[in-house]
Amino acid sequence: MKLLLTRHGQTDWNVEGKIQGETDTELNETGIKQAEDIREKLFNQKIDIIISSPLKRAKKTAEIVARGRDIPIIIDESISERYFGEFEGKTREEFDFNEIWNYKLNKQYEDVESTGELFARVQGFLEKIKQQYKDKTVIIGNTWRSVCSH
């Protein structure tokens, strides 16, 4: 399997430095342009399937990348962004951002998906697609900045 990872385009919350998590924000104009740039860069690349997070920002990015080509888009909940609960909509300065990345997340944050739960969810997803699409080129259109950057 050839796996290509993309991240959704920019949202207003990205610009404002807010934690999005499962909050379903839309792409802004820059985000749409970024998705179009990805589409251009990958247009001559053989792509068999796009698997996208169900969040609007990821789905819209996937739709733009697939536009003009016969590439199916599958929506998969297991690649949605980490759920940050009470911290969604806040900036990193408004809480201890590093603490919620502690692998053994302090249980004072019961409303937050733990890092261990997130990694297990992503690992399960990767194991599943490794079997289903072993001879395919797959784009994963996700919102995992948090997984990719930590």
Catalytically active residues are: 8, 81
140: three-class secondary structure by DSSP:
strand
**Contact (Cβ atoms closer than 8 angstroms) between residue 98 and residue 115:** no
- Cα–Cα distance, 66 to 39 (Å, whole number): 7
| Maximum pairwise Cα distance, the chain | 49
